[in-house]
Amino acid sequence: MSPSITKILFLALTASITQAAPASSSLSARQAPAGPDIPFLESLQTAPSAKIRFQRLFTKDQKGSELLDAEALKKALVFDFNNGAVSAGGTVKSANVETFPVLTDLGISVTVANLGPCGINTPHVHPRATEFLTVVEGPGVDVGIILENAIVGAGKQSELTARVEKLQGTVFPVGSIHYQFNNNCDNTTFVAALNSEDPGTGQIAQNFLNLNDEVVKAVIGFPKSLAGADIQTIRQNIPANLAIATEACYQKCKTEGKMHSIGL
């Protein structure tokens, strides 16, 4: 049985994380190693036609004189999902309009995530895209989805939950709150395709805690709910996106000696 989204949100609020800096990679023939080439990205977005955009991407003078050489062409055409950003819960890497400029105006992006034992991609939304997730390796993930208000009657359970196993897939409609939880002691890898080259991501608990203190307190029933807990302390310890949950899973996998397989 998948844990409720309430429990997952609580874990996101209370778990601490140490997140390493993402490994640098050459993402485009014309991107600087330190990050995206903003003027080049803007030139692609403002190209008057797809033909001109492709000339800017794939030709030496950006005007169609001749194609880039083989090495530069591969950098422009092939995205490397290896060496994803590392956190306590696993690794993740996304090909989107910023990291892979060839996707400009193509309406698609892809994320590959590897969740370690008990790893969770904490509840989040994609404001500009629907996501289709496919498990490609490992035992699978538990998923939870909250679509919108009033899908069911007041006080009724509104979280859609399912177990997605290897070579199975599921969908998260645009704007829906959702998470993925590897409630296992082996790594699980999934591929998420989104129907926008710029889908955006908003972590629910993390962004909620960035609101005005008085608003946060009012919503969570402070001080009754937290019994005087310091909201600023929670803010400092909250994970960026991937975390380890739950206590039962952690203890089980620790006993089996498999928590090291996260790779940290």
Residue range 215-256, pLDDT digits in tens: 888 887 766 666 445 667 776 666 666 666 667 888 888 877
Mean pLDDT of 15-35: 36
Assign 4 a pLDDT band (cuts: 50, 70, 90). Answer: low
Its pTM stands at 0.79
On whether the CB atoms of residues 206 and 179 are closer than 8 A, the answer is: no
Residues above pLDDT 90, as percent of the chain = 59
CA distance 255 to 250: 9
The pLDDT of residue 23 is above 50: no
Mean pLDDT of 89-93: 92
Residue range 202-211, pLDDT digits in tens: 999 889 988 8
Residue range 141-178, pLDDT digits in tens: 999 999 999 999 988 889 999 999 999 999 999 999 99
- Backbone φ and ψ for 212, nearest 5 degrees, come out as -50, 135
Assign 12 a pLDDT band (cuts: 50, 70, 90). Answer: low
Mean pLDDT of 110-123: 93
Distances (CA, A) of 48 to 28, 34, 43, 199, 221: 21, 28, 10, 23, 53
The encoded tokens of residue 164 equal: 């997605």
Please tell us whether the domain made up of 5-21+81-262 is placed in CATH 3.40.640.10.
no
On whether the CB atoms of residues 207 and 126 are closer than 8 A, the answer is: no
Residue in 233, 231, 189 with CA at minimum distance from that of residue 212: 231
Distance between terminal CA atoms of the chain?
Answer: 28
The encoded tokens of residue 257 equal: 């000696």
CA distance 218 to 197: 37
Partners of 160 in the β-ladder: 145
| Sequence ranges of the domains in the chain | 5-21+81-262, 38-77
On whether the CB atoms of residues 138 and 166 are closer than 8 A, the answer is: yes
The pLDDT of residue 16 is above 80: no
On whether the CB atoms of residues 199 and 95 are closer than 8 A, the answer is: no
Cβ neighbors of 47 (< 8 A, separation 6 or more) are 53, 56
| Count of Cβ atoms closer than 10 Å to residue 15 Cβ | 20
